[in-house]
Structure 1
């Protein structure tokens, strides 16, 4: 059952990537929406799940929140190291190029999305191991927000100057990941604590990408009210998805 539902996530991911490709003439709106979707996924979906699943504390702080901060700092450190390396090869001109086109950042971010989708599939399979009602609730959330995953994977890859074929390759990898993740749960049971810690860490990575990369880029050339409305709409969409899943 979990693998069958994951096929729906596969199709929804591809649909999200298709939408991202068709609105290139409204790039600022695409980025604004992507930033809102990522913000909503982190604040309304990933962090609550992480805190619920990983309830242990480390020196008075929930482990999931520590890993959330760690994920944010790791993403920031990696982005700064890549920028510094490009700048070192080309001086000021290289620094400018590093700020505008860093294909490695896009591929790394898209790979993180693929990893997240893989964990989506594992979470889906684990939920069906608990029971049918739990599985269906998780399935609704996974299938619905995989549209955002496909949208964000294609956008992140192409944003940093990668070729279209690479963006499509990452999109298909992201689409296949939940199917593989769900199938893998036929072989093992994932500890809830480990899943919660992963979600916290990945939430920090996503928040950095949304706040430090996607949203500033969206408003750089088009500081329009419509871009802000797209960001709010993206976060509101995730709120709707989470609310429907909780019913």
Structure 2
């Protein structure tokens, strides 16, 4: 089988975990006894842990390996401020798109990284695909339950929308495979930009105890704190 087909199928499989998670959430809402309260909380927490693992184990290490400390900090803090602005804009619009942004913020750069890993002969492609799949299942679960409560979308429309989002992954992976394999600095910057966005969204939406009422500043502080540790680690290596 040609390598580009493997890239396409792996990215698609990882993306399909999003509608699979949504279907699991729908079953949970239709049949409350389907999952216990502990199981439901475990899935939500697992999603947060998976997002952190994407930042700590894949996106940040790959990003800082190709950039200077200054450029790494620039991309990272730019991502944090962008997602700070984006969430505020979505709240003013009263849009449910925030959940979709949260899912795609790590899925797209990881899919691009998947494509570039195969194109450059790296050994991380299969591991990255597995990590993407494990992240997208709880993310799809969490996003479905949030959207069904806060939006006017029907259950079927949400699942169809998630299925459509799954197709973005193979496109991003093939872009990485064919177009971005030689643009290491750009891909690295994208990974760090997305890392800051993920970190912001996790602290803002998944770690509510770090929030103040009607304030998004604490989550931005988490981005700045992570950026400080990132640069310090790079300077002492």
User: Which range, TM-score by smaller chain?
Assistant: 0.5 to 0.7
* 1:152 Cα deviation after fit: 4.8
* Aligned residue in 2 for 1:176: 167
* Contact residue 157 and residue 166 of structure 1 kept, 8 A: no
Q: How many residues align?
A: 195
* Aligned residue in 2 for 1:211: 203
* Contact residue 2 and residue 182 of structure 1 kept, 8 A: yes
Alignment of 1:1-247 (within 5 A): 1-24=6-29, 25=32, 26=37, 29=41, 30-52=43-65, 54-58=66-70, 63-83=71-91, 85=92, 102=94, 104=95, 106-111=96-101, 113-114=103-104, 116-131=106-121, 133-155=123-145, 157-158=147-148, 160-163=150-153, 164-185=155-176, 187-190=178-181, 191-216=183-208
Across the aligned residues of Structure 1 and Structure 2, the Cα RMSD in angstroms comes to 3.3
Q: Partners in 2 of 1:179 and 1:111 — Cα distance?
A: 17
Q: Aligned to 1:23, what secondary structure does the other structure show?
A: helix
* 1:206 Cα deviation after fit: 1.6
* Aligned residue in 1 for 2:220: none
* 1:112 Cα deviation after fit: 5.1
Q: TM-score, normalised by structure 1?
A: 0.63
* 1:128 Cα deviation after fit: 1.2
Q: Partners in 2 of 1:64 and 1:159 — Cα distance?
A: 38
* Contact residue 11 and residue 175 of structure 1 kept, 8 A: yes
Q: Partners in 2 of 1:37 and 1:64 — Cα distance?
A: 22
* Aligned residue in 1 for 2:219: none
1:117–1:82 CA distance, 2 compared to 1 (3 A): closer
1:155–1:55 CA distance, 2 compared to 1 (3 A): farther
Q: Partners in 2 of 1:167 and 1:202 — Cα distance?
A: 24
Structure 2 unaligned blocks of 5 or more: 1-5, 212-237
* Aligned residue in 1 for 2:3: none
* Contact residue 2 and residue 124 of structure 1 kept, 8 A: yes
* 1:48 Cα deviation after fit: 2.2
